[in-house]
Structure formats: C-alpha cells, structure tokens
Amino acid sequence: MPTSPIAHLPATSGAPPGPGARRPWYRGRAALLSVGVVVVVAVTVITDLPSHSTRANNINDARSVIAEVSTDAQPCNLGLTEALGFYADVTSGHITPAHRAEIPSLIRDDLNACSYVNASIDDLASIDNPASATGRQLNAITNNVLVWCDPDALTAIGQITTLLDHPGTAAARTKLAGAERLLKSDRAAAYANIAKLARSLGSSLHSSLRLVAAP
C-alpha cells in the first residue's frame, strides 16, 4: 500500500525551535516593542479624551471653581481696596500724621497680597479645571481674575506707592491710569464670563466673587 505524503511532513510539536531557526515575525523584539508603543499611545489618547459629564456635574464644577477663585482673589481684593483708600485719603488731605506714618508698611503688605509672594495667587494660577466645555469657560474666568490681580492690581498698588512718596511723578500717574483701565476691563470680563457660563448651564451660579471697582 503506498505511503501517504502526509507521513513525510515534518513534525510540528510544541518544542522550541533550534538555534538556527527564525522566530515568527509577530514574536520578534521589534514587533513586540511596536505593539507596546501602540498600546501606550492608545491608552494615553483614551485617558486624555474629555469625559462625558452631566449638567448637574457641570453646575457643581462651576460653583466649586468660582468659589475657589473668589477665595484666592480675596486677599488681593482687600489689598487693592486699602491701597486705593490710602491714596484717596492722602491726596484729599483727610489723614492724620500718625496714620500717614503707618502707610508704608501697610501698603507693602497690599503689594504682597497681589503678587506670587502670596500663596493665594499661586493657588489661583494652579487651579485645574475639567477638560470640558464648562472647563474651558472656567479657564477664561480664572485667567480674567488672575490677570486682574497680577499684573493689574499689583501695578496699580506699585504706582500708588510711588505717588505717595513722590506726588508729582507724571510717569506714575500715567501708569496708574493705565492699570485702572485694565482693572476695569478684566473685572468686567470676569463677571461677563460668569454670566455667560450661567446662561449656558441654565443655572444661577450665585457667584461670591468680589473685585473692587477701580476709580
């Protein structure tokens, strides 16, 4: 009886290949590394995608972030309020010599309150908003308030400091007027963006943000 050709095929056992044998392409080191890179990239892309959020979650995020922004901006708001008050008192002559003597140290604290020396300003710059449409609007609000503090309020207080020491300095008056215009503009932008976000969410955000109105 003739022998079947199948009997002459080489055995295909699970034994490892000999030293000279080549691995299948899909078991090669380069192929395995490529697969690993593809997996890492895919995981990174997936984790970076904005997650779906409900309206209730977006409202909670907005209220939480705006409350944090309000808290972080409060020391600078108080500092600018005090510095503007000093300037008004001195220029109007409604100030006692004893009070006038206290101003240099107090206004130095006001300057610090609006700079990165103050941890609150650093916290304001470090707020991490969600990767969503609401998050992008919150980024705009956060940036408005951060710029209102530094450089707007910081510049205004610095020029007030100069004018209290040297009342006739024209350059300081010009810079103070410019800083006041920016304070008004960035304050208006912050409140406008909060109102815009509230409309997009269909909810009142009950903002506690308080930014003093520049003269």
Query: What single DSSP character describes residue 212?
Result: P
The predicted structure's pLDDT at residue 28: 55
CA–CA distance, 162 with 144 (Å, rounded to integer): 26
CA–CA distance, 13 with 173 (Å, rounded to integer): 91
Q: Do you know the residue count of the chain?
A: 215
The predicted structure's pLDDT at residue 26: 44
State the Rg of the chain over Cα: 32
Taking only the tens place, the pLDDT of each residue in 21-62 is: 455 544 554 554 454 444 444 434 444 445 567 999 999 999
Taking only the tens place, the pLDDT of each residue in 158-198 is: 999 999 999 989 999 999 999 999 999 999 999 999 999 99
Written as one letter, the residue type at 33 is L
Beta-carbon-side half-sphere exposure of residue 58 (alpha carbons within 13 Å): 22
The token duo for 6 is 């199948």
pLDDT-derived band at 201 (thresholds 50, 70, 90) equals very high
The predicted structure's pLDDT at residue 205: 86
Instruction: Give the mean model confidence (pLDDT) for residues 92-109.
Output: 93
The token duo for 181 is 């215009």
205 vs 32, higher pLDDT = 205
Helix orientation angle between 170-201 and 55-92, rounded to the nearest 10 degrees:
160
Q: Which CATH number is 55-201's, of 2.60.40, 1.20.120, 3.30.450, 1.10.1200?
A: 1.20.120
Asked if the model's pLDDT at residue 2 lies above 80, the reply is no
The predicted structure's pLDDT at residue 173: 97
Written as one letter, the residue type at 110 is D
Taking only the tens place, the pLDDT of each residue in 61-76 is: 999 999 999 999 999 9
CB 212 within 8 A of CB 84: yes
pLDDT-derived band at 208 (thresholds 50, 70, 90) equals confident
The predicted structure's pLDDT at residue 172: 97
Query: Any idea where the domains of the chain sit in the sequence?
Result: 55-201
Written as one letter, the residue type at 166 is H
Map residue 1 onto helix, strand or coil: coil
Taking only the tens place, the pLDDT of each residue in 134-164 is: 999 999 999 999 999 999 999 999 999 999 9
Chain centroid to CA 139: 6
